[in-house]
Chain A
């Protein structure tokens, strides 16, 4: 039984239909990240699960129960928002206990749960402050605490870290991951447009674009075997290299050909029959291109060197194609040097040029 099951859900804002029959099953205890560019419908989907907007069609199950018509408070969910959304006129303690007080929970029980959540998030010393007396990071901790106190089975996060600076973001990201591990059976749905957050937190990533699911899979699958050009380009920094070319049959095997560049595709696992003679796009991640004197592709010169500490990115060009190559941070290569490049076709991705789908 899934913890959350979204079945053929459509959402409509007046005349505009945002989703058309979207389905997604999430297992108990799973950490699912909805990832996609702005406006792709992540928040809308989350709000539909929370019951904050009505669905036009379809059903939503939480814990095996059909909650499609239920009030947000009865769905067994808790939610954390990007803008914290703390009640400004209440102390931290009152903020965290508001939901329990609404539900007429006994005082002792409220005290116990607030203390527990406060300890977990290290905000015990802030309990009597007002939200405007807290820093951004502390506010978001309180907001997470308010969600924890609800003892929900499903936690919904809508870009909880987007308003924080980079340092705090890393810190709280780890904390959320730790929290998920400690809570054990809690299911989490987490919305972000930050691929690092998605890769580090998720058991499964749902990549979305234009209100459509592009790919669902583990971070490794999404990164290693992107389902289409959009996913391939969206995930990974520096970006995947793309080469436009053609698929040609050559002495028994298949080869990718782009001008003077050729790549025999022995070992590449095609999804179905390879479209020989068709226009295709080859995608190679910068770390899968190796600097090799006797490499497959010759005649590249280093245009730009970008040292990033742990590694260095080289922009290599042969006049018609430019490729980013990731090499170690200790590399001594300088601008203008001639290099050869080698790559393993098993680690590359091929996409149809017309549909953008993986081949």
Chain B
């Protein structure tokens, strides 16, 4: 009879496939979250508790002491001002690098997509290659060049490096985004009397919000997590947080303060973590859009 005809929503059943899927997802989540968890609880324990060796046990007397120490009085080499110095250095490197690299990338992408610049294809090819060559190759030549220019080991120098290395990716990202915008929009703006900058600032940029968010996320996390450029180009005064974290963890005088190390590490990871949590949805959306439009 017709009672057996499928109708309405399909009944949900727990198939072996589903069980396997959930098992895999759970394992993956534990695998990635466990280290974070251990770091968090360890950073909240005093050293006496850590010496007992139960690394998975919850802290018996939770304390923020280690966090305070990590922030303001942990020793990096000779001076003992904590990781806060590095934090502010990183911020000073981050802000101009992110703004400049995104601004230049957006303008480049816009020019490449809409204005028939002479040699645009060649330029684009060079940028593409630039985006894929391992940057270690450039380290030594750049050190030489910056020394010659007299800006080696300065804030300017490290910002410049981040901008240069961010440019290919940013340009590609924005070029692909703008390639998806109908050329007729640009033509209409030209007839309305817009020039290079007015069309960019008043028509294209307001449409680029999703891409700007994605670019900001990529650049903030990338530049914040950078180690080798900071170490190579920033100079002693401007060492970013990552380098200072390394110094704290490796300054081996007396007993190793695991709780302070953990707290310092968490502090260093804070900015990218916040960025991901706040913008996770945007991030996924932007990457997807970029992929489809590519």
**Mask for B177-194, Cβ within 8 A of A = 1, else 0?**
000001011011111111
CB-CB < 8 A to B191: which residues of A?
50, 52, 72-73, 77-79, 99, 150
**A87 near B193 (CB under 8 angstroms)?**
no
Instruction: Judge if A82 is at the interface, Cβ distance under 8 Å.
Output: yes
**B193 near A73 (CB under 8 angstroms)?**
yes
Number of A-B contacts (CB under 8 A): 57
| Cα A351 to Cα B184 with chains together (Å) | 41
CB-CB < 8 A to B184: which residues of A?
81-83, 85
Q: A88-B207, A89-B207, A102-B198 are in contact. Are A81 and B193 (CB under 8 A)?
A: no
Could you show 23 A-B contacts with beta carbons less than 8 Å apart?
A47-B187, A50-B187, A52-B187, A52-B190, A71-B190, A73-B190, A77-B191, A79-B187, A79-B188, A81-B187, A85-B188, A86-B188, A87-B188, A87-B189, A88-B207, A89-B203, A89-B206, A90-B206, A98-B192, A99-B191, A102-B192, A102-B193, A150-B192
Q: In the complex, which range does the number of interface residues on chain B fall in?
A: 10 to 19
Instruction: Judge if A1 is at the interface, Cβ distance under 8 Å.
Output: no
| Cα A222 to Cα B52 with chains together (Å) | 99
Nearest A residue to B188 by beta-carbon distance? Answer: A85
Nearest B residue to A147 by beta-carbon distance? Answer: B191
| Cα A99 to Cα B193 with chains together (Å) | 6
Q: A85-B185, A87-B185 are in contact. Are A72 and B190 (CB under 8 A)?
A: yes
**B203 near A87 (CB under 8 angstroms)?**
yes
| Cα A226 to Cα B240 with chains together (Å) | 78
CB-CB < 8 A to A89: which residues of B?
203, 206-207
| Cα A98 to Cα B206 with chains together (Å) | 14
CB-CB < 8 A to A81: which residues of B?
184, 187-188
CB-CB < 8 A to A86: which residues of B?
185, 188
Q: Is the interface of B mostly helix, strand, loop or mixed?
A: helix
Nearest B residue to A104 by beta-carbon distance? Answer: B193
| Cα A83 to Cα B194 with chains together (Å) | 19
**A73 near B192 (CB under 8 angstroms)?**
yes
| Cα A184 to Cα B206 with chains together (Å) | 38
| Cα A78 to Cα B206 with chains together (Å) | 24
CB-CB < 8 A to A87: which residues of B?
185, 188-189, 203
CB of B291 to closest CB in A, whole Å: 21
**Mask for A45-87, Cβ within 8 A of B = 1, else 0?**
0010010100000000000000000011100011101110111
CB-CB < 8 A to B187: which residues of A?
47, 50, 52, 72, 79, 81, 85
CB-CB < 8 A to A103: which residues of B?
193
Among B184, B198, B202, B206, which residue has the most Cβ atoms of chain A within 10 A?
B184
Q: A85-B182, A89-B207 are in contact. Are A99 and B190 (CB under 8 A)?
A: no
CB-CB < 8 A to B202: which residues of A?
98
CB of B15 to closest CB in A, whole Å: 42
| Cα A47 to Cα B202 with chains together (Å) | 23
| Cα A359 to Cα B159 with chains together (Å) | 76
Nearest A residue to B191 by beta-carbon distance? Answer: A72
CB-CB < 8 A to A82: which residues of B?
184
| Cα A47 to Cα B189 with chains together (Å) | 14
| Cα A102 to Cα B198 with chains together (Å) | 9
Among B182, B190, B191, B193, which residue has the most Cβ atoms of chain A within 10 A?
B191
CB-CB < 8 A to B198: which residues of A?
102
CB-CB < 8 A to A71: which residues of B?
190
- 5 cross-chain pairs, A with B, having the tightest CB-CB distances, nearest first: A99-B192, A73-B193, A102-B193, A89-B206, A85-B184
CB-CB < 8 A to B190: which residues of A?
52, 71-73
| Cα A86 to Cα B186 with chains together (Å) | 10
| Cα A77 to Cα B202 with chains together (Å) | 22
CB-CB < 8 A to A73: which residues of B?
190-193
| Cα A98 to Cα B187 with chains together (Å) | 13
CB of B263 to closest CB in A, whole Å: 44
Nearest A residue to B205 by beta-carbon distance? Answer: A89
| Cα A126 to Cα B182 with chains together (Å) | 24
**B194 near A102 (CB under 8 angstroms)?**
yes
CB of A130 to closest CB in B, whole Å: 11
**A83 near B207 (CB under 8 angstroms)?**
no
CB-CB < 8 A to B203: which residues of A?
87, 89
CB-CB < 8 A to A90: which residues of B?
206
CB of B58 to closest CB in A, whole Å: 51
CB-CB < 8 A to A72: which residues of B?
187, 190-191
| Cα A150 to Cα B193 with chains together (Å) | 11
CB-CB < 8 A to B194: which residues of A?
98, 102
| Cα A188 to Cα B206 with chains together (Å) | 32
**Mask for B158-197, Cβ within 8 A of A = 1, else 0?**
0000000000000000000000001011011111111000
CB-CB < 8 A to B188: which residues of A?
79, 81, 85-87, 146
| Cα A47 to Cα B190 with chains together (Å) | 12
| Cα A50 to Cα B193 with chains together (Å) | 12
CB-CB < 8 A to B182: which residues of A?
83, 85
In the complex, besides A50-B187, A79-B188, A83-B184, 13 extra interface pairs with C-beta distance below 8 angstroms are: A47-B187, A52-B191, A79-B187, A81-B184, A85-B182, A85-B184, A85-B188, A86-B185, A87-B185, A87-B188, A98-B189, A99-B192, A150-B191
**Mask for B120-139, Cβ within 8 A of A = 1, else 0?**
00000000000000000000
**Mask for B198-215, Cβ within 8 A of A = 1, else 0?**
100011001100000000
CB of B119 to closest CB in A, whole Å: 13
